[in-house]
Structures are given as C-alpha cells and as structure tokens.
A and B are shown apart, each in its own frame.
Chain A
Amino acid sequence: MELIIAAIKAIVIVALILQLIPVLIWFERKGSAYIQDRRGPNRAQILGIRLGGMIHNLADVVKLFCKQDIIPTKASRIIYVVAPMIAIFVASATVGVVPFAEPLHLGGLTIPMQVADLNIGILYILGIGSLGVYGVMLGGWSSNNSYSLLGTLRASAQMVSYEIAMGLALIGLFLVTGTVRITEIVSQQTGFHWYAFTQPIAFVLFLTSLFAETNRNPFDLAEGESELVAGFHTEYSSMKFALFFMAEYAHIAVGSLIVSLLFFGGWNLPGLDFDWIRVYPEAALSMGLPALAVGAIAFGLFLCSKFRRHKYNDARDYEVLIFGVPHVLIGFLMIGATLLLHGTTLPTWVGPVLVAALQMGVVLAKTLFFCAFFIWVRWTLPRFRYDQLMDLGWKGMIPVALFNIVITSAWLVFVH
C-alpha cells in the first residue's frame, strides 16, 4: 500500500518539477529581456496568440527534439550518451526527499508529503548534489573537444570546491537545528524564527555555493560563452543538450526549493496558524476566500484595462484580455463559494487537505521567489575570473563557514 502512495507521490512531484522548468525558462528569457530593457520572446505564436513568449518554449522543445543528433566520431560513445542522463537524474533525484507540507493525517494514515522521509535528510541532498559533477565531467571529457575539456575541468573544480563550502554552511545550520530531517527543520521555523535570520551567514554561504553548484551566472565559467563557446556541452546537439538544459533549470528549482525550506521556513508564514485552520477549516475558508477573490478580481481588471485595440493590429492585442478575464472570473467564483459554504460544517478531511494545500502553496511561492532571485542575479552580476572564483571559494567562503561554525557552537555552549 505505501508503495503505491510513494509511486503516486513520486510521479506528482516529478511532474511538478518538469512543469516548473518551462515556466522558469520562459521567466528567465522574459526577465532577462526586461532587465536588459528589451522585449523578450514574442514571435512564436499559435493561432496568433503569443501569450507573452510562453509559446516560445514549445517552439524550443520542438526544435530540440527534431534536431539531428550528432555524436562526434572520436568521442567515447557510451559515456557521451550517458552523461546528460546522469545530469538530469541527479537534479530530479534530490527532489525525492524534499517535503512540500507537513505530514497529512487522513483517517489514521499519515502521509508524509514527500517521496521518502529519510532520517539522513539533507545529507542525501548533499550526496546527490555532489554527483552532479559527474554529469558535467563525463560529458565534457567524452566529447573529446579541447574547449569542452577545459570547460569540464573548470566546472568540476568549481563544483567540488563549492560543495565543501555548502557542506560547512549546512553544518552551521545543523548546529542550530540539531536534526537533519528536513520536516523537523521546517517545523522548527514557525513564525518569524526563519533560520535565515538566526543563521544569516550560513544562509548567504549556502545560497552562493548553490549558485556555484548550478554553474549559474556569477560562477558560470563552465559554459562561459565568451571564451569557451558552450563549455562542457559544446558538442551536444538536440536531445542531449536539452537534457543538460533541463537539468540545469531543474537544479535551480530544487536548489531554491531547498533554500526556502531550510532557511525561509518552508510552509510557515508568519500570519498563518495551520493548526487553527486544520481545526476550523470553515472559518479559515470564510476569511481566506473573500480576500483571495478580491485580489484576483483586482488583478484581472488591471490587465483588461491595458487592452488597446490597435496596438499591434493582430492577435497580440487580445492577449492581455486572455490573461485578465480568467482572473476576474475566478474572483467571482471564490465569492460564490464562500457564500455557499457559509454556515455548513465541512467533512473532517477537508481541514488537513486544506492545510496541506495551503502549505504547498506557500512553499511554491517561496521557491518561485528564489527562482526569480536566481534569474535576476544571473543577468545583473558580471562573471568571475577563474582565480577570483577559486579564491572566493577556498579563501573566502570556507574560512567564513568554519568561523560561523565556531561562533554558533560557542554561542550554543554559552547559552546552555
């Protein structure tokens, strides 16, 4: 029985992540465009509808699938093919241990809202994270191209050294949390006791090393376009390149998910008191829904107001409407529901399900916020030089992390 539940959960979560990836890609292209004061992708259209570039993703996906899959002759074939798989596997595997909400108690069944609740928790993430290097290394080396080899060397060196920094930062965190199970860590962060505030240094270090792990902007020397063409995946064409690309974004998503869980209190919001909600779902709903409805309606109207008929003289003008109108409708639906619910008592499972849903929503919101942060950072900061990168890693972050550990342990000793 648990197996089935586990299987369902696994499928759901992976699907969720895979869905996230195109959104992230779109958001990145759109965001970077606006940062660089240009309009993002807006050409791909289905039946004239552009949806502000979302369609572009579909175009990319189709392109990547259809491109001819070239394997360089001298490359060691098997490893060349396996490398991207490893990359994507690593990215998706870490999700398995990430909890989205508190364990759900439905009729005697406690369903942990995560694929596998390992008591080693974060260590699992660390372990799998360290495997990420393989994907990069094997890929780059097997493509038998000097640029890619250089890229791989740099990438793997970078990832290995920042892994240490990440590990040490986490140790700083463990000192405070006292446990490695993620669910417990999150449940400890009620209200404003987010670890980001109690352990600011650990948070900052973890975040930067996360950037390094995913070869994201300030540290994206691996595929620094200016010098190394495309770094370790220059030789990769269609599908395999896609896998690498997806792996990267999956990694970002998972990374930000973990950051939000460990440091930003996961599903805790200062205001919300889940226990209360779980007990009195009706009251919660009756209060929450109207607020949401009002928000949705306001947003929808704002979009519709932007409608100009002759701006582009084609389907694009109506896009704004496509977005704005559904919001207004949802708003009204919510108001109706609250009115309908008023006065009736909901079945017992509704409370916990509602709480779970709410918690998932909060986690997702925070993750999206961090993904945005990732993308925003990518297009603002310049790229590190390699020695600066290494210096920062070894001489900067590791000493600071050690310092942090020492300080926290000293503090802990004095406090108790």
Chain B
Amino acid sequence: MIPWIASHILTITIFLPLVGVLPIMMLPRRFEEGSRAIALFFSLITFIASLAMWWLYQINAVDNGFTLIEQHPWIPTLNFQYFVGIDGVSLLMIVLTTLLIPLAILGAWNEIKTRRKEFMGLILLTEVGLLGAFAALDLFLFYVFWELMLIPMYFLVGIWGGKHRIMAAMKLLIYTLFGSLLMLVAIFVVYAKSGYQMNLIDLYQMKLDPGIQLWCFMAFALAFAIKVPLWPVHTWLPDAHTEAPTAGSVILAGVFLKVGAYGFYRIAMPLFPDAVLQAQPLLMSLSVIGIVVGALVAMIQPDMKRLIAYSSVSHMGFVMLGLASLTTEGVEGAVLQLVNHGISTGALFLLIGIIYSRTHTRQISDYGGIAKVVPWFSAAFIFVALSSAGLPGLNNFVGEFLTLMGGFAYGKVYGVIAAIGVILGAAYLLWLVERVFFGQVTNEHNKTLKDLNPRELTLLIPLMLLMVVFGVYPKLLLDPCMGSISTFLQLMGR
C-alpha cells in the first residue's frame, strides 16, 4: 500500500481537495457549518501530503530533472498526456498553496455567513486548480488547470465580495480569459509546430524558429503578465482585492499571482529562449516600472486592501525583475520572493480581514491610534508590515536583495530604480501603520475593539514563525530549487 502511495503522491495531493468537495456537497443545508470543518480537514490533509511529498522529494531528488513523475495517456489520439511531475520550484509552490489554503479557510471561519457550503467547495476547487497548474508538465493539462482555478475565483469574488463585486469579478474574468485564450492559441501553434508534442520535457529540447518563437512568447507572456500583474495590465488586481472576501484575497494574493510568475519560469521562458532575449529589455523595464509605480500608487490609496494590492503589484515586480534578469541570483531571488511574498501578503490580508470583521470598514481614515486598544493585533500587523517592507532578518529581505542583485547585474539603471522601490515600500507601509495604529483614537467605535482571539492567533503565529525562519535561513527554501534553477538557466543559454 505504502509504495503505491509513494509513487502516486503527487496525483493524490492534487486531487485530495476534490475528494473533499464531495462530502461538502452532500451536507444537508442544516449542517452548513460542518462544511467549514470538512474543508479545513481536507486542506490540512493535503498540506500533510505535500509535506510527505517534500520529504520524498528530498530522498529521490535527481539533480536537475523532474521527480515524482506520473505519465498516463489522457487523449491518446491527440497525444495529450496526464503528465505531472515536480522539481524544486513547483514543490515550493505546492507547499505554499497547501499552507495558505487552510489558513484562508480558518480566516474565513465566521466571516462568511451566507452559503458556506458553496464557499468552501469553491475554495477546495481553486486549490485543485492551483496544485494541478504547479504540477502539470503537459501544456494542455496546464491550460486545463489554469482555467479550473480561474472560475471558482470568479465566483468567490463575484458572490461573497464587497459593494461592486460584480464589476470586479467580471474584470478579473475578462482580463485573465483574454490572456488565456491567446495562450491557448499559442499552445496549439507550438503543438502543431513541434510535431504534435505537448509534454514540456520534449518541448524544451525542441528549438522553434525565432519568428514563431517571438509571437508565441508574446502570447504566453501576455497571459502570464496579466496574472503576475505586470504594470500595464494590473488594474484588475486592486479591484479584485478590494471586492474579494478575506479568504479570496489571501488565495488571490498568496498563490494566484504566483501562477503567473511560475508560468513564465516553467513555460514561457524555457520554451522560447531566443524570444526571451529579445523581449528581455521590455520585461525588465516593465517590472521596474511596476515596482516604482506600484509603490507610488500604493502610497496614496485610501483603502487598506487596495494599498496592499498595489504593494503586491510592486513586490511581484521584484519577482519579474529577478526572473527577467536571467542571472542565478536574480532567479533565486525571484523564487524566494514568490514564497515570501505569498506568506507576508497572505498574512497582511488575513490581518486586514480580522480588523474588517470587527469594524466592517477598510478606509484608513476610519482608523487611528488603535495600537493602544488592540496591542497584540498592532504588534502582529507591524511585524508583518516590516517583513513585507523587506527588513533584513525577516523573509522578504533576502529575496529582494537577490532580485536587486540580478537586476543590477543585468543593467545598473534597472538596479538603481528598483532599489528606490525598496524605499517607497518602507514609506507606504509605515505611513499606513502610522495612520492606523499611532496617534489618538479618533472615532469612538475603535475604543471597544476586541483583540486577537485564539483562532486568529493560530492563524498568524505559524506565518510569523515562517517569516523569521525564512528570513534567517533562506537556504531551507533555496536548496531544493538549485537543480531546477540551473537547468532553467541552461535552457535560457546562460
């Protein structure tokens, strides 16, 4: 029994949440609260499964290929395969997802009152989509999971969102769909050009001629850029975040954006190395603009969630900076930043969710001086804000440091401008902290705020611990990815 599980651990992890959806659906309307517990239970099992996967990965880690591979014919006639496997980076992403989803569920424990069953079901569905996307090594399979994760998210934002959630959900959907349809076209172009090959490993060896490469890369890049949100196509993120429920934004910011960057890392770049070289200056400048503009615009946002959304635009700009710089440091930094940004932004959104569940307002002007009233909450918030601002010793610093190094190595100007982003990062976060926490308590409503209850603590403690651990010892994250990064760079011809 055990060896079977060991060999199919990856598929089990991916489809475990799906198994969870079934009991939730069977629940009669009266036991709706039970659905939360079931969802939590299944997401925790998936987390444990992913840890087991990590352990297995350590054991039989082949240095630069994919492990835990499962390859079965899916549509034999069209040569589509169910081909999944993981390397260091996808392992990290999977563990990050399985970590954040239970926290998101825990975070939304009593925030969601209406239709809990559907909510929990949708979250588990998103998780399946995400895990699948990270593990898929077959282009078409990737596309299927890519779409699978988008739809539940649309519903999450659309149904349980804020005031104009419909607009936000629609924007999210159309933006991403626009991109993914282009991607589908590109997939089939590649499929045709490469002699009906869909699995990535063979495609990596296949060198397409530069003309087609550029177009396909542009299509893929656009689809992933929308997801990452690179600067010009990012406007869906702030709306989606402000309107999404807490759990939604945690997943959205924590993992949803990562798929875009992961897509670049896994599919867009290695498949079209020459096109990447041509498009590198464009990518670099877009990410740098993203960093600075994201930070600047974040500074003057009246709404907390919008501020954090723009901050994640800026942070993801760092990731793209690292990736596009095609230097080992840059890519390492990008991978680190992917995980760390997920943790810190996820924590930030959870905190905002907590305060929102008490005051039901996200406007900064409604707050003031609540540090005295809720010391634990403010301590946690400041801690996480600082980690997100990239304080050394906490998790984001090393990632930013390395990405900046990568950017610097590519072109000094890019490094300098991106470094300005670091200053702005500190500026808007501290300004937020100051306006919300310090000074006198402005409106009376804040006087009676309750501090963190045990549930919320169990939510935050693990994340804060991780922030310190990954800050002090990032090697923990980097070691598994070394092999995958070096293969990535070889593919890119560096």
Q: Do A and B touch each other in the complex, judged by CB within 8 A?
A: no
